[in-house]
Amino acid sequence: MALSHAIMTALLDEELSGYDLTRRFETSLGFFWESSHQQIYRELRQLSERGWLQATPVVQDGRPDKILYALTEDGRKALAEWVQGPTNLKRAKDDLFVKLYNIGHCDPAPVLAEIRRRQEQHAARLALYEKIRQRHYAVPEQLSAHRKGIYLALAAGIRHERMYLDWCDEALTLLKDVASAEP
């Protein structure tokens, strides 16, 4: 159960609607945690039923009505307990690595192409993260505790993208003659 905690984390200091949360999960928090709007809405309903969120319908003018969700005291307590509890480390589960095991049995060209695509994607992400860092987290030592936490998540993202790009270089160099040579 982790999406629920990610949602509650997003609600730590603001009330948000399902739609707002969907936006959040496309940026910031979403850099580390993806989710579809369908699942977010379902999770929100379940969390309200469990008493961890307070739902407030808001009638709007000029746009469709919405439901704002706020973290309750119970929710805050449950979240704190989860943060305090143990975290189990999970493997990445990247399909590309499984595909790499198939080189030598399949045509390697599509795998090579995929690595090049990754190179672009990760370069784009890195650029985005770097920009955010420069704008909002230029001097990490001077940030509040809360923002240090967020900065560190961003820093992990930056390190990850750099690492991945370096790996792509290594992979493309090592495989450059494989592409044409073997079937």
Interface ranges with DNA (CB under 7 A):
1-4, 17-20, 22-23, 34-39, 41-42, 44-45, 60-67, 90, 93
Q: Which stretch binds a copy of itself (CB under 8 A): 47-55, 59-67, 103-111, 128-136?
A: 103-111
Q: What is the DSSP string of 90-157?
A: -----HHHHHHTTBTTB-SHHHHHHHHHHHHHHHHHHHHHHHHHHHH-SSGGGS-HHHHHHHHHHHHH
Residue 32 or 136: which CB sits closer to a copy of itself? 32
Q: How far is residue 44 from each of residues 34, 49, 78, measured CA to CA in Å? A: 16, 9, 15
Count the Cβ atoms, other than its own, within 10 Å of residue 151: 18
Instruction: Examine residue 12 and tell whether it contacts a copy of itself (CB under 8 A).
Output: yes
Instruction: Examine residue 27 and tell whether it contacts a copy of itself (CB under 8 A).
Output: no
Residue 128: which of DNA, a copy of itself, none does it interact with, CB under 5 to 8 A by kind? none
The Cα–Cα gap between 96 and 74 comes to 41
Which residues touch 94 (CB under 8 Å, ≥6 apart)? none
Q: Which stretch binds a copy of itself (CB under 8 A): 41-49, 62-70, 108-116, 128-136?
A: 108-116
How many amino acids of this chain bind a copy of itself (CB under 8 A)?
A: 72
In angstroms, give the least distance from the CB of 63 to DNA.
4
Residue 34 or 169: which CB sits closer to DNA? 34
Tell me if residue 25 falls in helix, strand or coil: coil
Answer for which of 58, 74, 104, 124 binds a copy of itself (CB under 8 A) is 104
Q: Would you say 69 and 53 are in contact if contact means Cβ atoms under 8 Å apart?
A: yes
Identify residues 63-92 at the interface with a copy of itself (CB under 8 A). 79-80, 82-92
Element (H, E) at 57: strand 53-58
**Residue bearing tokens 């480390």:** 89
Residue 156: which of DNA, a copy of itself, none does it interact with, CB under 5 to 8 A by kind? a copy of itself
Instruction: Examine residue 152 and tell whether it contacts a copy of itself (CB under 8 A).
Output: yes
